Structure 1
Amino acid sequence: MHANGTNIEGEMAEVSAAVEACCERLHEMGVERIFCTMHFSTRTDKPQTMADKLARLA
């Protein structure tokens, strides 16, 4: 199992802030254009991490 891209796990506000900080830093370094595609998966019925999902496959 692997991600199609980069997975970031955490609270939505923190994840969004991390992505924004990365984009800001890249622009500071001279990158003129950045293209980001993000998908969010949230659930409220139980806590679940990426590690939990992988453990179920083992």
Structure 2
Amino acid sequence: MTRRVVQWSAIDSDREKLQVITVFEEGISKQDVKREVPFSRWHGVLYKTERGKGYDFK
């Protein structure tokens, strides 16, 4: 199974620039992620490793 990753910038209450990265649960589709975070322009995917104990980023 794959996990979706999205990244975007935000500004906190102190006017500091933040880099926000969200990793979604396994099995969620790209369309569902786009509905939840429509303003994100960067989408990535994490694939399970061959041994199944970790993830590789692609």
Q: TM-score range by the shorter chain?
A: 0.3 to 0.5
Structure 2 length-normalised TM:
0.34
- Structure (1/2) with the larger strand percentage: 2
Bigger-Rg structure (1/2): 1
- Structure (1/2) with the larger helix percentage: 1
